[in-house]
């Protein structure tokens, strides 16, 4: 906690691991009443939040956390802003005055669930740049860990780490976090909606005021039963409904027959099955609508929140836009992925000039026309020359700049050898990791497949789904991907998983399953980029035209599995460290790509694997999931039908 590098347990990070999706028939509200125990302290310290508490039990928790960014202490003077990112939301403070001790006192409420996002990233930016501000320091705070510590204080100080080196402290930040009792949430919500129609301000509703409130909910069935509902709410029979009585009515009715079908603030449809979250959602919306929260929202990542007026101008001119999903047109200016371990959206780092050139080539007929008239051969030649350059002793001097550009994306503490061990850039690029740096999920369970690479992953039950949500090349097919190998028909209608490696990733790939390597077939081809800007282009057929090597692995639990290693621009070399006939275990190293981005595609036979639901869900939204080698991928359908579900506590999901 002190250094902002909180770690959650593997059981918490199961991320719908495909083996633990048990549902209780008991309502969420009743479970919370039984398992959530809040205690209030007497004589709270100065500066602590009134009406909020610490957690003493996390099991099955759902509630609202109030996070306040108070102040920071930096090593130089500037105008500072801070961002907090959790899940798919990012919020930012106002910009401070010129100082080395900025004060914000900016707060934001978050919906917090035990199995949902709970690791908040706090980022601090200096604001002296036109196009974007400069990230100076960050910390990561596990809100559950924060809320569980019974220190007697809601405020703690965290070290801010240098994004280029997590061992360097560049400042510190003070923040507070407290949790709101679900009962308090209901009362707070009742107080807000009561104020809408409480015209005389006495804190009570007459029948006429109550009727107007029911009408405002837009529920026709409830509107027909106003008198019945009023009598039910007026428990003491005094002819008016108090705030507590209204809160009780809403809670009871949410369990039986909800009065509110859609949020009166944002208009979002509320799931009838998710009653407490609906109450929390509306409470948060009312906070937003009344402007009670200081932080500005509407951002996907901290990088988006930190962009200056230059980027806003390009958005206004439709030159670029910031969104998650398919990367085409102006939205191809940024790539946003979901980090599975930290459960939040992050922006992929990529040079702006490269983005513009890829858009010019791959997002237009003209660009691809140029490719067809000799540029393919040029890409091949450039890749070969770049490969030779990266194998030269002189290339080693580029390693520090590479690390600086990708800042917090490369963790040198995981690397097997120190930096001075690498004599060429390619030696560093194909670096090995320390033993245990990538734990393998459910070791000994060959019926559970794992992720094959550190990468951005897309998962689809069929090739047809991949064409609908991700691959826009008109000629893509399983048969086209696998070429003329004898067993290609075995995979028709099969399940497809795409592992895209970016330049900053660990570039060794591993076996997702245990079995025997039946064959490895090399297929010559082009060297298009495997970046989503090209994959999402209707003018390009990256996976079926690029150079690739197709391996077939025979397994006991998944049948045959095709493992396709695909070369890309600057990646002319695919090296295997295993050979035909070898018996392998899931998680074993299979080979590596030399310099550049690259991709692995695994194809499973039809109805042989049940992929993890979270991976399918984000893929259906055209959002890649950031995963690590060894994280759980899916479960054998055959074994799933035969065996009881495994104990997820004994499975390791992430590094």
> Do residues 204 and 242 lie in contact, with contact meaning Cβ atoms separated by under 8 Å?
yes
Per-residue CA distances from 466 to 51, 127, 388 (Å)? 49, 41, 35
Q: Which residues, 6+ apart, have CB-to-CB distance to 484 below 8 Å?
A: none
Tokens of 31: 């479970």
Distances (CA, A) of 624 to 345, 467, 586: 10, 15, 23
Residue 277 tokens, joined: 């979250």
Query: Does 118 qualify as catalytic in the annotation?
Result: no
Residues 454, 505, 557, 614: which is the catalytic one?
454
Q: Is 3 a catalytic residue?
A: no
| Residue 454 bears catalytic tag | yes
Tokens 């309502």 sit on residue: 27
Q: How far apart are CA 163 and CA 363, in angstroms?
A: 33
Annotated active-site residue in 85, 178, 573, 598: 598
Catalytic entry in 510, 551, 612, 628:
510
User: What's 374's DSSP letter?
Assistant: I
Q: What is the dihedral of CA 472, 475, 481, 486, to 10 degrees?
A: 150
> Within 10 A of 60 (CB to CB), how many other CB atoms are there?
16
Which tokens sit at 161? 């780490």
CA distance 514 to 497: 17
Task: Give one DSSP letter per residue of 443-483, joined into a string.
Answer: TT-TTEEE--SSEEEEEESSHHHHHHHT---TT--HHHHHT
- Listed in sequence order, the residues at least 6 apart from 373 whose beta carbon sits closer than 8 Å to its beta carbon are none
Structure tokens at 368: 């691809």
Polymer length of the chain:
655
**In degrees rounded to 5, what are phi and psi of residue 212?**
-65, -35
Helix %, strand %, coil % of the chain (to 5)? 30, 30, 40
CA distance 260 to 217: 5
Active site residue ranges: 454, 510, 598
């Amino acid at each position: 906690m002190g250094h902002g590098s909180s770690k959650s347990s593997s059981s918490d990070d199961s991320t719908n691991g495909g083996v633990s999706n048990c549902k209780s028939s008991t309502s969420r509200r009743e479970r919370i009443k039984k398992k959530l125990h809040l205690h209030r302290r007497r004589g709270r310290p100065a500066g602590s939040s009134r009406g909020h508490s610490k957690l003493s039990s996390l099991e099955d928790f759902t509630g609202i956390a109030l996070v306040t960014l108070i102040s920071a202490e930096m090593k130089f003077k500037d105008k500072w802003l801070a961002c907090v990112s959790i899940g798919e939301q990012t919020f930012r403070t106002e910009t401070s005055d010129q100082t080395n001790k900025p004060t914000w006192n900016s707060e934001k409420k978050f919906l917090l669930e035990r199995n949902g996002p709970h690791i908040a990233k706090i980022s601090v930016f200096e604001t002296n740049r036109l196009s974007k501000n400069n990230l100076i320091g960050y910390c990561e705070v596990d809100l559950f860990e924060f809320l569980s510590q019974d220190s007697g204080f809601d405020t703690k100080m965290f070290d801010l780490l240098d994004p280029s080196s997590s061992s360097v402290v560049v400042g510190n930040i003070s923040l507070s976090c407290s949790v709101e009792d679900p009962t308090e949430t209901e009362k707070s919500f009742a107080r807000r909606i009561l104020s809408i129609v409480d015209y005389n301000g006495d804190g009570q509703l007459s029948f006429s005021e109550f009727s107007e409130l029911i009408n405002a909910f837009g529920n026709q069935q409830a509107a027909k039963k106003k008198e019945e509902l009023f009598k039910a709410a007026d428990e003491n029979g005094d002819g008016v409904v108090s705030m507590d009585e209204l809160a009780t009515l809403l809670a009871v009715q949410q369990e039986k027959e909800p009065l509110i079908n859609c949020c009166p603030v944002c208009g979002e449809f509320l799931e009838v099955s998710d009653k407490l979250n609906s109450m929390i959602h509306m409470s948060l919306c009312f906070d937003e609508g009344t402007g009670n929260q200081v932080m500005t929202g509407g951002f996907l990542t901290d990088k988006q929140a930190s962009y200056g007026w230059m980027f806003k101008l390009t958005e206004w001119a439709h030159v670029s836009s910031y969104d998650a999903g398919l990367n085409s047109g102006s939205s191809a200016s940024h790539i946003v992925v979901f980090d599975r371990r930290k459960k939040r959206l992050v922006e992929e780092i990529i040079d702006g000039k490269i983005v513009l050139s890829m858009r010019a080539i791959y997002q237009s007929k003209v660009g691809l026309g140029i490719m067809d008239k000799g540029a393919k051969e040029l890409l091949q030649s450039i890749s070969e020359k770049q490969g030779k350059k990266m194998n030269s002793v002189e290339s080693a001097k580029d390693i520090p700049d590479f690390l600086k550009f990708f800042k917090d994306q490369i963790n040198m503490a995981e690397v097997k050898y120190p930096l001075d061990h690498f004599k060429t850039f390619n030696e560093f690029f194909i670096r090995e990791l320390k033993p245990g740096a990538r734990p393998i999920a459910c070791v000994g369970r060959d019926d559970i497949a794992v992720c094959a690479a550190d990468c951005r992953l897309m998962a689809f039950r069929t090739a047809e789904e991949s064409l609908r949500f991700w691959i826009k090349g008109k000629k893509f097919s399983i048969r086209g991907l696998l070429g003329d190998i004898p067993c290609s028909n075995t995979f028709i209608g099969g399940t497809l998983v795409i592992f895209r490696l970016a330049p900053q990733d660990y570039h060794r790939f591993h076996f997702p399953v245990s079995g025997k390597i039946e064959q490895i077939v090399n297929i010559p081809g082009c060297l298009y980029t495997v970046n989503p800007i090209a994959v999402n282009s209707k003018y390009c057929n990256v996976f079926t035209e690029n150079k690739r090597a197709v391996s077939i692995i025979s397994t006991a639990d998944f049948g045959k599995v095709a493992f396709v290693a695909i070369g890309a621009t600057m990646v002319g070399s695919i090296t295997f460290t295993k050979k035909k006939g070898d018996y392998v275990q899931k998680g074993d190293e299979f080979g590596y790509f030399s310099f550049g981005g690259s991709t692995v595609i695994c194809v499973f036979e039809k109805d042989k694997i049940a992929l993890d639901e979270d991976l399918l869900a984000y893929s259906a939204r055209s959002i890649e999931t950031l995963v690590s080698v060894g994280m759980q991928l899916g479960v054998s359908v055959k074994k799933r039908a035969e065996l009881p579900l495994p104990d997820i506590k004994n499975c390791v999901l992430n590094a």
